[in-house]
Structure 1
């Protein structure tokens, strides 16, 4: 190999080596940017999740305070008023004293139930099913509508923060049922199968046109969908005007 061939070989080798080095550098920069982007998206998702948890907890507390107000006025207040009337009637009817004592006892039981809602640690220390039981019991006490809750015998643990979000979505559906649906019945079915949680809630109210769902943002339907997306769950709202509304929720661990 003469000198010119050696020089040509060195030039070609240098060009190839430079091209390979440049390619590696570009690949490193590309993957580093992609890694940083993924980390940024992950951090953003975590921040969004934390913000959603805080917002959800605030909404639950606000809803709880409204519930306490309704229950004090619509239930306990009426019981105490009835007890007062019974005591006044006791002057002419001694048997009314026993009725008044019974009414006062019922008022005390209602206050004990209400104290569970007031306790700020209640939802934190309860499972999703236990929190739903409390909510359903409250509806039945207030006689807003006839409510029922059925749960599967099987169960698996879910992150408590995710359970809070699930509970809030259901709470929004319940609130819509009471405020807007004119329903007389509300049924909730909770099923744990394998690693899948399925919840169905349905009322027998007036329903609405699902094709116009975007116009119902004020009643929390868009919030439910956004929250389901945040925890990688699926939620469907099915409704027919005059035939009630149904919520179908699916979450896989």
Structure 2
């Protein structure tokens, strides 16, 4: 094969090779792009599913709270007011007590009305929703609760706020129902880069070696991952339980 033939073959082979390489690269890129799109679509479905479940759970928890307050709290106040009114027929000086009891019942209904309207719940910010929970705990004497907010409150996308609130609500529920705690401290610490949330009770705690990640705690961790947050639960028997969650704004 002379030099001329080699040049001709090379002139033909190089463009063909380049075309093949381009086709292969395009094929690889297309497959990767399709895979990435599928992963993004799957991630969106998972997020939407968890968001819907969080919204349902918040509504269910709210309805349980409303039902309990109407029956056990406001119902008892109205029953007491009725008894006092009957007694006041013979002791008119008791009318002051009747008025105070009815006034307390009205205040309780006003506080409860904030939770009854679903649209009002949707429009609440994370700070407002957590504040309502803390106020309810103290008002009903469930536990001595305190909320501290540090820094300037930064805007957070509405769906992310719902998931953040549900994570906290799950922790609060565990504290009230199982921890036997007398105090609950919650801190929302805002900076330009992140929101750091801590919630700590002084309850009985639990041993991490005892398969402590129940369904509720696993849900909290899963939901934190969905919004690119880090969540840590620390607990020690006899020394309470603490939640630390960090959500980055960027």
In which range does the TM-score fall when normalised by the shorter chain? over 0.9
Residue number among 121, 126, 129 corresponding to 1:128 in the alignment = 126
Determine helix, strand or coil for the equivalent of 2:91: coil
Q: Which runs of 5+ in 1 are unaligned?
A: none
Q: Is the 8 A contact 2:47 2:226 kept in 1?
A: yes
Aligned position for 1:206: 204
Determine helix, strand or coil for the equivalent of 2:181: coil
Q: Is the 8 A contact 1:200 1:246 kept in 2?
A: yes
Residue number among 224, 228, 237 corresponding to 2:220 in the alignment = 224
How is 1:65-80 mapped onto 2 (pairs within 5 angstroms)?
A: 65-80=63-78
The farther-off stretch of 11-20 and 177-186 is 11-20
> 1:82: how far off?
1.2
User: Structure 1 pair 36/140, CA: closer, same or farther in 2 (3 Å)?
Assistant: same
> 1:118: how far off?
0.9
Please state if 1:195 is matched with 2:193. Answer: yes
> 1:205: how far off?
0.4
Determine helix, strand or coil for the equivalent of 2:214: helix
Q: Is the 8 A contact 1:156 1:195 kept in 2?
A: no
Q: Is the 8 A contact 1:74 1:142 kept in 2?
A: no
How is 1:37-48 mapped onto 2 (pairs within 5 angstroms)?
A: 37-48=35-46
Aligned position for 2:102: 104
How is 1:1-253 mapped onto 2 (pairs within 5 angstroms)?
A: 4-212=2-210, 214-218=211-215, 220-253=216-249
> 1:237: how far off?
0.3
The farther-off stretch of 162-171 and 97-106 is 97-106
> 1:215: how far off?
4.6
Determine helix, strand or coil for the equivalent of 1:157: coil
> 1:5: how far off?
2.6
- Supply the distance in 2 between the matched residues of 1:181 and 1:80 (Cα, whole angstroms): 31
Q: Is the 8 A contact 2:188 2:196 kept in 1?
A: yes
The farther-off stretch of 6-15 and 74-83 is 6-15
Q: Is the 8 A contact 2:151 2:191 kept in 1?
A: no
> 1:121: how far off?
1.2
Determine helix, strand or coil for the equivalent of 2:247: strand
Q: Give me the TM-score of the superposition, normalised by structure 2.
A: 0.95
- Supply the distance in 2 between the matched residues of 1:228 and 1:143 (Cα, whole angstroms): 30
RMSD: 1.4
Determine helix, strand or coil for the equivalent of 2:118: coil
- Supply the distance in 1 between the matched residues of 2:212 and 2:181 (Cα, whole angstroms): 21
- Supply the distance in 2 between the matched residues of 1:124 and 1:215 (Cα, whole angstroms): 32
- Supply the distance in 1 between the matched residues of 2:236 and 2:62 (Cα, whole angstroms): 30
Q: How many residues align?
A: 249
